[in-house]
Structure 1
Amino acid sequence: MRLYPSRAVKAALTTFTVISALTIPTAGSATAAMTSSKAGTTSAEVAAASIDAKCRSHGRNYVVRNYHRGPAKYTLRCGTSTWGWKHIKARHGWSSTMDRKISAAFWSGSPNGRGGFSTYTAQCPSVEKFRTIIGTPAGQNDLLTAYKVNTRAAAMC
């Protein structure tokens, strides 16, 4: 004999799920930043500490972030002082803003001729704002580095 949940049980579970989803703060919300921060630290510092802890307990090839461009997937690995997350953190600084800029460059940036993607201003002539470079000893689709730039683009309007 099979038991099926009643409509009342299904409705109650659905209502509970919706209410739970509405009351749990999302990662980018101010509430999440306040609840996840500890005595004077920001959520970006907490996230960096979390990645740092993962990299301490795993090797340089451990994947800490995935970024997407259509069906293609690009990875950020722990890396070393010359590539990956450890390099970006030490040389360019790691924050939630850096993470968002990397994601935006992959998702909607233009190929930059350095094996990565860049974002540009909407003015004429364009100014490159942010650059990613792909290709590490660990893999072709791995993020080598990412940084803010402000050089003039070669193309004229």
Structure 2
Amino acid sequence: MKPVAFSIRSFRPAGLAAALLVCCLGLSALAGEFRLEAQLIWGTNDPKSPDPRHKPVEEQVARKLKELPFKWTHYFEVNRKEFTVSQQEPRTVTLSEECEIRVRLLEDEQVELTLYGKGKRVGRISQKLPKSEMLVLGGNAPNYTAWFVVLRRKD
């Protein structure tokens, strides 16, 4: 990023506010920080979850999961958490008693997601995560069901 020189006297108050906003947004992007949302999702062929606290996932997520080569027809949200991750420090997020994720921000919008089930590493994936995309990682569960973590950017 090229430094820009300007004189405070050359700006009107509205122009100064816009310049400060652009500078702040630019510094935030340079800091390498993402606001993310993680959803813990249960996949099943049962039309209702046995847990009344589980709610069907939102339509956008359901559509995305149905496009993938999964065999389940119904998806329920178990938990959802928003958090921030930076390049300087990975973030560990607990989604349930048995599910935890570790998220690391790499270069060039790359995110590394590691999924832990019952304290053991279940899987790891790293890929670019543009604002409009979702990253999905999961594993099998008893009774022909599955658990998924869906990761999305919130910024």
Q: Highest relative contact order (Cα 8 Å, sep 6+), 1 or 2?
A: 2
The TM-score by the shorter chain falls in which range? under 0.3
Look at both structures and tell me which one has the larger radius of gyration over its CA atoms.
1
Structure with bigger helix share is 1
Structure with bigger strand share is 2
> Could you state the TM-score of these two structures normalised by the residue count of structure 1?
0.26
> Could you state the TM-score of these two structures normalised by the residue count of structure 2?
0.26
